[in-house]
Structure 1
Amino acid sequence: MPPFRPGQIELRIDRRTLWIGQAAYPLHNIARVFPVVLTPRYAEAFGRFGRRLAITVSVAFVVAAIGNLSIEMTQRSSTRSDNASSFTRTVVTFGVIALVVHVVNLLQVVLQKPQQAVAIETNGTSVALITAPDAQRRLALTQHIAAAIDDPAAGLTVHVDTLSINPAHYYFGDTVNVHGTGNVGRITL
C-alpha cells in the first residue's frame, strides 16, 4: 500500500464493516455505491444574491427615508441637516457591509468547480463521499466496494482522497421525492 499523501484517509473493509477514516458503515446497511459529479449550484447562488441585494437596498432606502423624515420633524433647522446626513451615512455603511457579506456568499459558490466523487449511500440518510485523482481509480473504488458487499471476507485497504465541500453549495445527484405532498417524482440533473 503506498504511503499517505496529505488530504488522504484510509478506506478499509474489515469483516462486515466499511471503514472510511474513523467512520464505520456496516456493509449490510449500504444501499448504493456510485460515481457522481457534484455540480455547484450557480443559478441558485445568483438568484439568492439578487434577492438579498434587492432586500438590502430596499430596507436601507426605507430606513434612511423614515429616519430622515423623523429627524426633519423633531429637530431644529440648525442641526437637522448634519444629523440627517450622519444618519444616512450610517445606513449606507451598514448597507455596504451587508452587500459585502452577500458578495462573499456568492463568491463561495461561484468560485467552486465541479467535483468528481464516489458516493456511498446507506439505508438511512447517511452519505459518505470519497474521491480519487482519476476516473479509472474512482470506478475501481466503486467496483471494489460493491464486490466487498457481496464477499466481505475479501477485504480491502486503500488510501482515498477526501472532499471538503459545503453540501448546500452543490447538487448531489438526482432529486427524488415520491412520497407525501411534495411529490416531484425524479428530477434528473
Structure 2
Amino acid sequence: MTHGSDKIQVRVHNRILWVGDDAYPLPNIASVRPKTIVPRRWAAVREFVVRVARPAGYIAGGTIVLACLGDKAPFALQLALALVSGIVLAPHVVRLVRRLRQPWLYALLIGVGSGQTAFVINSDRAIVHDLMERIVHAVNHPTAEFSVTVEHWGDWVLGDKIGGDKVGGDKIEMPS
C-alpha cells in the first residue's frame, strides 16, 4: 500500500460536510478529533534486520570462502559476490531509508452517528487543527460555510485489515 499525497476538497455547504466526494450531514457529526500518526522507525529497523539476516549470512559465508582462497580467488567470483550482494541488499536498504525518512502525519477523524468515520491526513499539524476548528464552528453555526483544498495523504484503512494500516488505533505503520 503506497502513501502519497493528493489534493482533497473539504467544504461545508447547506449544512452538509463534504470530504472529497463523501457527504456527511452536519447534525449527524458525533465527534471531530485530531490524531498524530508517528512513523514506527524502530519497527522498520527491526524488520530490516530480520529480512536481511539470512542473505547477509550467505554473503558473509561467501566472503569467508573468498578470504580463505586469498589471491587464488578468481576475479569473476569476487565480482559475482559483490553484484549478488548489491542486488540482494539494495532493495532492503532503500526500503529502510524511505521508512526512516517518513514524516509525522496528522489525521482529522470525523465520527458520524452511524459509526462511519471520515478522515483527512496531512503533514502539517496547523492545517488539521484549522480544519477541525472550521468544522466544529460549522456544526454550531447553521449559516457557516467554507471550502478548503488541502493536501491529503490517502489510502489509509480505518479499522483492521490484514497487513494494512490503522488510523486511530493501535497499529500505525507507514510502509513504503
Residue in structure 2 matched with residue 72 of structure 1 by the alignment: none
Corresponding position of 2:119: 128
Q: 1:171 to 1:9 in 2, by over 3 A?
A: closer
Show the counterpart of 1:57.
56
Partner of 2:38 in structure 1?
A: 39
Specify the code of the residue in structure 2 equivalent to 1:158.
Answer: S
- 1:55-77 superposed Cα distances (whole Å, 9 cap, x missing partner): 22235567x69xx9xxxxxxxxx
Q: Is 2:100 the counterpart of 1:100?
A: no
Conserved 8 A contact 2:11-2:18: yes
Distance 1:144-1:61 versus aligned 2 partners, 3 A rule: same
**TM-score, scaled to structure 2:** 0.59
CA contact (8 A) 1:38 1:171 kept: no
- Report SS of the residue matched to 1:94: helix
Kept in 2, the 8 Å contact 1:11–1:159? The answer is: yes
Which position in structure 2 is the counterpart of 1:185? none
CA distance in 2, matches of 1:59, 1:156: 63
Label 1:43 to 1:24 Cα distance change in 2 as closer, same or farther (>3 A): same
RMSD across aligned C-alpha pairs, in angstroms? 4.0
Q: 24-33 vs 50-59, which deviates more?
A: 24-33
SS of the equivalent of 2:153 reads coil
Distance of aligned partners of 1:56 and 1:31 in 2 relative to their CA distance in 1, 3 Å threshold: farther
Shift of 1:120: 3.1
Choose from 164, 170, 173 the match for 1:175. Answer: 170
Q: What is the aligned length?
A: 149
Is the contact made by 2:120 and 2:153 (CA closer than 8 Å) also made in structure 1? no
Alpha carbons of structure 1 residues 55 and 15: separation in structure 2 relative to 1, 3 Å = farther
Percent identity reads 21
Contact conserved, 1:36 with 1:119, CA < 8 A, in 2? yes
Contact 2:36 2:104 in 1 (8 A): yes
Q: Which runs of 5+ in 1 are unaligned?
A: 1-6, 69-80, 177-189
Matched AA of 1:175: D
Higher helix share: 1
Pairing partner for 1:162 from 136, 151, 161 = 151
CA contact (8 A) 1:109 1:169 kept: no
Select the structure of larger CA radius of gyration.
1
Instruction: Give the stretch that moved more between structures: 110-119 or 93-102.
Output: 110-119
Aligned partner of 2:22 in structure 1 is: 24
Partner of 2:105: 115
TM-score by length of 1: 0.56
